[in-house]
């Protein structure tokens, strides 16, 4: 069983694999280099650069500037879409006022914009990485080289090769004393933190079953129709990143990782294998146009832990069905509501027995004033670590949560039982040249003559997802 505290090592086979894979040494220019520790000035100005100016990046920047992290200023921004950057700038400027000082020559458009934005910072400053996760290892590599603290959005990887790179980079960021936050905000829900402690203290006995549900209508850009011809196919895929496995891991990785992560946290372990079912019931949108993306519209994954305990993650993106968006834990002494709604909305509760019977309610979470927002909490926690030089690095755990999500997704897409080691060691790299992309590059996945992209075929395509 792999325990989930931040200082825990990978299982021996995984650790040895990482150490002995020669290709990993070439991933980062930092490999083999003695790395000096970096620490921000405890009371001085900390500058921020935003790389990836979509909705989540804008939200993360607003959270950062609203945190109690001392003097902070947004000084640089980068994206591949000029309008996204300009809209994001206006949003953040309106919310944060004079904490935003991004002159025109610090607004960078293009695939190399991340370097230019980070070049505006000094060691100990913070870069926010909120592009689609396909680019995460590329940008994280440069952030480490620049000595920058990092906040990166989830998921942080979508396939085995990128995960192995990111695990190596996580080790390097720890060695350099960089503080790294990952946008799995459930971990910063004060209600869930107390619930997790109570579970680990034995109040619910042995955890034997965990259940997560995210069932609602089509969301994000998960279901798209044929590429319209403008902008380029590459930029169109990035704009609609939920639709493409190379860019986001699809709706499974992007939508369901929060429940996967916080339920495994309750168990304090990662599952060792997964089996799953999934399928596409409707291939047209509500206007009758054919959808061409790579997602299933329903998934049901059974994860198994080393001690035999089970975790079920059910996801569905279909209108007109029973909507459920919550999570639960069952122990030998009782059960708990983990997230009452959405990814981490409380209150969390513990009941005697296995039914949510009010007469058997044993505990309900209560959160102190000012601690209610997990999105703000994660920034307050990160900035406290930066200002006071506390150990703080969520990168490894973020990779593991991403891998477990990918394990379930691959099980559904292939129709095979997939182990943690199999997804970690899988050689199918969805976008092998993502670090070389330019505005003129072809898209990493190509459509057929009908404009449709390669879809998973369980039982037929067994060793890779498409």
Q: What values do phi and psi take at 443, rounded to 5?
A: -70, 145
pLDDT at 206: 97
pLDDT in the model for residue 42: 67
Exposed/middle/buried for residue 288 (C-beta within 10 Å: 0-12, 13-18, 19+): exposed
What is the CATH class of 187-368+404-423? alpha beta
DSSP run (H or E) holding 79: strand 72-79
pLDDT value at residue 286: 81
- What span, in angstroms and rounded, lies between the C-alpha atoms of 138 and 162? 10
> Top-level CATH class of 14-186+376-393?
alpha beta
CA 287 to mean position of chain CA atoms:
31
Q: What is the pLDDT along the chain (466 residues), one digit of tens a residue?
A: 344 443 334 433 444 443 433 344 434 444 444 445 566 666 799 999 999 999 999 999 999 999 999 999 999 999 999 999 999 999 999 999 999 999 999 999 999 999 999 999 999 999 999 999 999 999 999 999 999 999 999 999 999 999 999 999 999 999 999 999 999 999 999 999 999 999 999 999 999 999 999 999 999 999 999 999 999 999 999 999 999 999 999 999 999 999 999 999 999 999 999 999 999 998 888 888 999 999 999 999 999 999 999 999 999 999 999 999 999 999 999 999 999 999 999 999 999 999 999 999 999 999 999 999 999 999 999 999 999 999 999 999 999 999 999 999 999 999 999 999 999 999 999 999 999 999 999 999 999 999 999 999 999 999 999 9
Residue 39 has a pLDDT of 66
DSSP 238-258: HHTGGG-HHHH-HHHHHHHHH
Give the whole-angstrom CA distance, residue 350 versus residue 204: 8
Residue matched to tokens 């990111």:
166
Phi, psi (deg, nearest 5) at residue 317: -125, 70
What number of residues does the chain have?
A: 466
Helix (H/G/I), strand (E/B), else coil: 128: strand
DSSP tag of 66: H
Would you say 212 and 314 are in contact if contact means Cβ atoms under 8 Å apart?
yes
pLDDT at 301: 98
According to DSSP, residue 76 is labeled E
Q: Work out whether the CA dihedral 126, 193, 267, 278 comes out positive or negative.
A: negative
Domain boundaries, the chain: 14-186+376-393, 187-368+404-423
- Reported as type and span, the H/E element at residue 129 is strand 126-129
Strands 107-109 and 126-129, how do they pair?
unpaired
pLDDT for residue 287: 87
pLDDT, position 341: 98
Report angle CA 227, 430, 271 to the nearest 5 degrees.
120
At 456 the pLDDT is 98
Q: What are the tokens at 185?
A: 């905000």
Q: Whole-prediction pTM value?
A: 0.92
Dig out the tokens for 278 from the structure.
């999934």
Q: In what order do the strands lie in the sheet with 334-339?
A: 361-364, 349-352, 334-339, 324-331, 207-216, 310-317, 298-304, 273-279, 418-419
């Amino acid at each position: 069983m792999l325990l989930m505290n931040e200082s825990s090592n990978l299982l021996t086979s995984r650790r040895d694999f990482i150490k002995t894979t020669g290709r990993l040494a070439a991933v980062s220019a930092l490999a083999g280099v003695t790395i000096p520790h970096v620490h921000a000035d405890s009371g001085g100005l900390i500058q921020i650069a935003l790389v990836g100016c979509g909705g989540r990046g804008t939200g993360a920047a607003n959270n950062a500037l609203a945190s109690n992290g001392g003097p902070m200023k947004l000084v640089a921004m980068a994206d591949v879409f000029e309008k996204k950057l300009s809209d994001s700038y206006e949003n953040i400027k309106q919310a944060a006022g004079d904490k935003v000082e991004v002159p025109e020559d610090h607004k960078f458009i293009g695939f190399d914009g991340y370097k230019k934005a980070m070049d505006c910072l000094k060691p100990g400053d913070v870069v926010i990485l909120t592009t689609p996760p396909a680019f995460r290892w590329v940008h994280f590599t440069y952030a480490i080289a620049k000595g920058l603290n990092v906040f990166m959005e989830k998921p942080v990887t979508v396939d085995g090769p990128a995960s192995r790179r990111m695990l190596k980079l996580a080790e390097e960021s720890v060695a350099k004393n960089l503080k790294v936050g990952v946008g799995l905000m459930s971990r910063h829900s004060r209600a869930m933190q107390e619930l997790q402690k109570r579970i680990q203290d034995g109040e619910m006995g042995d955890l034997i079953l965990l259940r997560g549900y995210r069932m609602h209508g089509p969301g994000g850009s998960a279901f798209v129709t044929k590429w319209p011809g403008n902008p380029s196919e590459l930029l169109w895929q990035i704009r609609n990143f939920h639709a493409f496995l190379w860019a986001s891991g699809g709706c499974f990785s992007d939508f369901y990782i929060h429940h996967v992560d916080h339920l495994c946290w309750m168990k304090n372990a990662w599952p060792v294998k997964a089996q799953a079912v999934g399928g596409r019931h409707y291939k047209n949108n509500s206007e009758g146009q054919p959808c061409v993306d790579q997602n299933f519209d329903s998934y049901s994954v059974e994860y198994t832990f080393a001690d035999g305990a089970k975790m079920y993650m059910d996801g569905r993106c279909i209108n007109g069905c029973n909507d459920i968006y919550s999570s639960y834990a069952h122990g030998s002494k009782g059960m708990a509501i983990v997230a009452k709604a959405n990814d981490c909305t409380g209150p969390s509760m513990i009941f005697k027995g296995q039914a949510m019977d009010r007469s058997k309610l044993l505990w309900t979470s209560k959160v102190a004033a000012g601690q209610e927002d997990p999105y703000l909490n994660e920034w307050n926690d990160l900035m406290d670590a930066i200002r006071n030089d506390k150990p703080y690095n969520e990168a490894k755990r973020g990779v593991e949560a991403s891998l477990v999500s990918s394990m379930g997704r691959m099980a559904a897409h292939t129709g095979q039982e997939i182990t943690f080691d199999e997804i970690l060691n899988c050689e199918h790299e969805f976008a092998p040249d993502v670090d070389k992309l330019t505005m003129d590059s072809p898209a990493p996945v190509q459509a057929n003559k009908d404009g449709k992209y390669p879809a998973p075929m369980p039982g037929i395509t067994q060793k890779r997802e498409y």
